[in-house]
Amino acid sequence: MIGERSITLVVLGLLLAVVAWALVVDEPFTITLATRAAILALAAVGLNIALGIGGMVSLGHAVFFGLGGYAMGILAYHAQSFSALDLGLVSVAGTKSMPVIWLVALGVSALAALLIGLLSLRTSGVYFIMITLAFGQMFYYFAISWSAYGGEDGLSIYVRNGFPGLNTLVPIQFFGICFALLCAALFLNARLRASPFGLALNAARQVPARIETVGLTPFRLKLVAFVISGAITGLAGALFADLNRFVSPTMFSWQLSGELIVLIVIGGVGRLIGPVIGACLFVALEHWLGGLTEFWHVYLGAILLGIVLFARGGIVGLLTGREGPHV
Amino acid sequence: MSLILIAEQVLNGLQFGVMLFLMAAGLTLIFGVMGLINLAHGSLYMVGAFAAAAVAGATGSFLLALAAALAAAALAGVLIEILVIRRLYRAAHLDQVLATFALILIFSEGTRWVFGSFPLFLDVPDALSGPITLPGGIQYPVYRLTLIGIGLAVALGLWWLTARTRIGIQIRAGENDREMIAALGVDISRLYTIVFALGAALAGLAGALVGAIQSVQVGMGEPVLILAFVVIVIGGIGSIKGAFIGALLVGLTDTLGGIFLPELFKLFMPADAASQTGSALASMAIYILMSLVLIWRPSGLFGARA
Amino acid sequence: MSDPILSTHNLVKAFGALTATDDVSIDLFPGEIHALIGPNGAGKSTLIAQICGGLTPDSGRVVLQGRDVTQDSTAVRARAGLGRTFQISALAMEDTVLENALLGALGASHRPWRFWRKALSDKALCERALSALERVGLADDKDRRTSELSHGQRRQLEVAVALTLEPRAFLMDEPMAGLGTGGSQRLIGFLDGLRGEAPILLVEHDMDAVFALADRISVLASGQVIATGTVDEIRRDPAVREAYLGEDA
């Protein structure tokens, strides 16, 4: 059977190869699809830290995706309308600079993850699932009723935000940015998993009682993981908004939270490359099946049922022949 | 703001609350007895609404429509219980979430396939249309009042069922100890199917009843499902009483918050900003309520201590 | 006599009408193995939970090295020097043997907040974990998945994880459970040598092990300590014979 590390390299290589091919035959739309896959993968890599290592079945990760999106939307909106962003005590100018937007997206979603985690990690199991789902809905309705930033209609950003030295409007360059961030997140995830923190977190998922008797607190480990996880998903949200040059409350929707979990499970829960495989397959299915029938979600549902009932461990599980972590 | 308006909103809140109870009661029973988190419960709500709309459209009878809703939802419930849900009782929560999420996708798209994307309309029956004058001069729609009555009747019926009947005793025993009830010679898989069908029928009933005052469309179930989750988190998983109290709390908070918070903010803010801040906050009110309950009692008002 | 490392003072815990722990006071002195025995339902599990921090007593105190830890969490008690093993192995089955042992080392170093460096390349942590594995005889199995271990090896690992904490007192909940004769003999030999490092409160059903190891024995019945004494004193105690040994012997 194949080792996990080789699968990781092959998958990333394949994604690059597809993009290279698209560049050669001049298929910018394929590059955009690949970019979309990379961004969704990044969001799911974030979720995989909470879900795959920490065992937290968060059905509310769209909150962070949406917050990242709105961080981008609001900053860019103020920049393009030359209006000040009033934060109560201070007012700041908007910005069209990606790195600044990313930092804000990371910060805002980390803060939200801290608050949501503090509340929802007081519970576990089904409660945790329901509560994270509920908080997701809270942000969704808040975004709808917040008319200053477009309410239900969302916000359009006319020109993609800039990155020093690059022309982000060129599809391949924007893909490069997203792919680099994805790789960085994967690297971070790998290091995290092997670090003392990752070891403790992973054990906290399996045997919380043991973790306490060696003097560690599962709550704190999980909370920190949840914050890191939320921040990464938030960063993906900012990129997603930039890809579409549009943000709307649907970025907060519960369907999106569900789909992020689906991506991970298709690829393999707790596997480093699982979310990337899942995202690529998802985008491919969405594109091909979606082109064949407008009811492609029926097939997605059937595939998903098949995986849950018969192929636990996802694609990586099938390829390596080893069961993954149990969540 | 008059007393009449307040009374009207309280009634609206009650009506919303009892409909949430119909959803939450089934969910909490299913979780309490089988340990299953069922995201597809909202789909059963939708199935009920569509069945009612289709039958009402064909026959013109609202009663037949309600019967169809109950039957269709219960049937769909039995079907998915036997085909899918049954395999999930001992599975991890993640598997339950995914499989029932998959069911949502299948139900939603399947319904869109059959009925199309346009909303259907289910009319309030003639006998129940129009307002009635309540003591104190409050004009209130008869239909909504009927919904409150039906909701309360179902709550009473469920209380009777769980406290007084043989199957209720089995349900309560099943909550406490699965092996025990199997040892008593109860056919556990039949009991599970019955409980699931009962929960499904309640969801279908709620869908049909609410469908007459809102539009019947694909995706109508999930927002209600998530509110029902909030209800259960507040009330405590597995508790019918908790679901009832939680549902009324959520119904009243949501309805009254939407009306009064903007008014409240108008007292010290310009009208424009007040209505925006007020309505934004109102949209968050029930989640803030949920957070407060969580801080106070992590396992809900009537939940067993976690 | 020196002060006890671990002691409980008049612990009471009731569940409704049932008083599971009824005014229990026991001590664990340096250098001793103090066995706690009693029939099923005597309240041993409830007592262990109160000592470790899973349950808060209705009244009474738990004192660890002179410090009142009654209100402290399990984690705080562990950091204060209480090393516990579980009756049913509580190990991260998906992880390797070494990784499990590392958990104790991590806890003992009070530093799980390292996110970047590999745990397996942290020399200090690994040495600590490896030396514990060596002592229980699992060093050769360090890279195996814990789920592949035999029952007996899991019991050994359970002890090793507690060892990596370098605790001031051990609480061992039926460490012999499920071990064959050979395994039991080895573990008895090992625990015998361990008492010099830290005293052991040994909750055990295996009477051969108890009689071989214990310096003192306390007998729990219906939530109360009905006798405490040396092995011989307990063997002779008529109340004990009636409540416990009478049925068993």
DSSP, res C166: -
Closest residue of chain A to B300, computed from CA coordinates: A127
The answer to whether residues A154 and A170 touch, using CB atoms and an 8 Å cutoff, is: no
Check pLDDT > 90 for residue B186. no
pLDDT at B216: 95
The number of C-beta contacts closer than 8 angstroms across A and C is 107
Q: Which residues in chain A have their CB less than 8 angstroms from residue C75's CB? A: 211-212, 215-217
Q: What backbone phi and psi angles, to 5 degrees, belong to C15?
A: -115, 100
Domain A4-320 in CATH 1.10.3470:
yes
Report the SS3 class of residue A211: helix
- Tell me the per-residue pLDDT of A190-237, one tens digit each, with 9 for 90 and over: 999 999 999 999 999 999 999 999 999 999 999 999 999 999 999 999
Check pLDDT > 70 for residue A100. yes
Contact C94 A215 (CB under 8 A): no
| Confidence grade of residue A89 (pLDDT, cut at 50, 70, 90) | confident
Provide the CATH number for the domain around residue B204: 1.10.3470
Q: Which pair of structure tokens corresponds to residue C114?
A: 């390292």
Q: Which residues in chain A have their CB less than 8 angstroms from residue C119's CB? A: 194-196, 198-199
Contact A202 C92 (CB under 8 A): yes
DSSP, res C32: -
The 8 Å CB, 24+ separation contacts for C112-117 are C112/A196, C112/A197, C112/A199, C112/A200, C112/A216, C112/A221, C113/A196, C113/A197, C113/A224, C114/A195, C114/A196, C114/A197, C115/A191, C115/A192, C115/A195, C115/A197, C115/A198, C116/A191, C116/A192, C116/A195, C117/A195, C117/A196
Integer Cα distance of A240 and A68 in angstroms = 9
Which chains does chain C touch, 3 or more C-beta pairs < 8 A? Answer: A
Q: In chain A, what is the straight-line distance between the N-terminal and C-terminal CA atoms, in Å?
A: 23
Gap from A225 CA to chain C (nearest CA, Å): 10
Q: Which residues in chain A have their CB less than 8 angstroms from residue C158's CB? A: none
Give the mutation candidate from A53, A63, A133 for the B interface (greatest B CB count, under 10 A).
Answer: A133
pLDDT at A148: 85
A88 contacts chain B (CB < 8 A): no
In a domain, B128, yes or no: no
Nearest to A261 among B97, B109, B294 (CB): B97
Which chains does chain B touch, 3 or more C-beta pairs < 8 A? Answer: A
Q: Which residues in chain B have their CB less than 8 angstroms from residue A282's CB? A: none
pLDDT at A280: 97
Q: Which residues in chain A have their CB less than 8 angstroms from residue C84's CB? A: 213
Q: Which residues in chain A have their CB less than 8 angstroms from residue C101's CB? A: none
Strand order in C200-203's β-sheet? C82-85, C169-173, C200-203, C33-37, C216-221, C224-229
pLDDT at B178: 67
Percent of chain B with pLDDT over 70: 95
> Count of residues for chain A?
327
In a domain, B302, yes or no: no
Per-residue pLDDT averaged across B52-70, rounded? 95
When divided into structural domains, chain B yields a total of 1
Give the mutation candidate from B98, B250, B292, B297 for the A interface (greatest A CB count, under 10 A).
Answer: B98
Angle between helices A28-48 and A274-292 (to 10 degrees): 130
The pTM assigned to this predicted structure is 0.93
Percent of chain A with pLDDT over 70: 100
Contact B105 A301 (CB under 8 A): yes
Q: How far is CA A194 from CA A73, A138, C125, C157, in A?
A: 36, 35, 13, 21
Per-residue pLDDT averaged across A307-319, rounded? 84
Identify the CA nearest to A121 among candidates A221, A52, A210, A192: A221
Identify the CA nearest to A49 among candidates A203, A181, A183, A188: A188
> Could you list the residue range(s) of the whole structural domain that residue B275 is in?
3-119+134-296
Lowest mean pLDDT: which of A17-31, A162-176, B259-273?
B259-273
Q: Which residues in chain A have their CB less than 8 angstroms from residue B97's CB? A: 57, 59, 129, 258, 261
Check pLDDT > 90 for residue A261. yes
A254 contacts chain B (CB < 8 A): yes
**H or E element in which residue A85 lies:** strand A84-86
Gap from A270 CA to chain B (nearest CA, Å): 12
Report the SS3 class of residue A294: coil
Q: How far is CA A105 from CA A108, A138, A232, B225, in A?
A: 5, 19, 9, 30
Per-residue pLDDT averaged across B88-109, rounded? 93
- Tell me the per-residue pLDDT of C138-174, one tens digit each, with 9 for 90 and over: 999 999 999 999 999 999 999 999 999 999 999 999 9
pLDDT at C249: 41
Contact C114 A196 (CB under 8 A): yes
Q: What is the ipTM of this complex?
A: 0.91
pLDDT at A188: 96
Q: Tell me the domain boundaries of chain C.
A: 1-81+167-249, 94-166
Integer Cα distance of B78 and B85 in angstroms = 9
pLDDT at C65: 94
Give the mutation candidate from C52, C74, C77, C147 for the A interface (greatest A CB count, under 10 A).
Answer: C74
Q: Which residues in chain A have their CB less than 8 angstroms from residue C125's CB? A: 196
In a domain, B289, yes or no: yes
CA-based R_g, chain A, Å:
19
The number of C-beta contacts closer than 8 angstroms across A and B is 133
Q: Which residues in chain C have their CB less than 8 angstroms from residue A326's CB? A: 94
Contacts with C88 (C-beta within 8 Å, 6 or more apart), sequence order = C177
Which chains does chain A touch, 3 or more C-beta pairs < 8 A? Answer: B, C
Contact C117 A196 (CB under 8 A): yes
In a domain, B126, yes or no: no
Integer Cα distance of C56 and B288 in angstroms = 31
Per-residue pLDDT averaged across A95-109, rounded? 96
Q: Tell me the domain boundaries of chain A.
A: 4-320
Check pLDDT > 80 for residue B1. no
DSSP, res B36: -
CATH code given to domain C1-81+167-249 = 3.40.50.300
Integer Cα distance of A120 and A175 in angstroms = 35
Of B59 and C107, which is predicted with more confidence?
Answer: B59
pLDDT at B176: 66
Question: Which single residue is written with the structure tokens 């009892």?
Answer: B18
Lowest mean pLDDT: which of A59-73, B136-150, C49-63, C99-113?
C99-113
| Confidence grade of residue B292 (pLDDT, cut at 50, 70, 90) | very high
Kindly report the number of other CB atoms within 10 A of residue A246's CB atom.
18
Q: Which pair of structure tokens corresponds to residue C94?
A: 């998906």
Check pLDDT > 50 for residue A59. yes
Gap from A185 CA to chain B (nearest CA, Å): 24
Question: Which single residue is written with the structure tokens 């340990």?
Answer: B35
A305 contacts chain B (CB < 8 A): yes
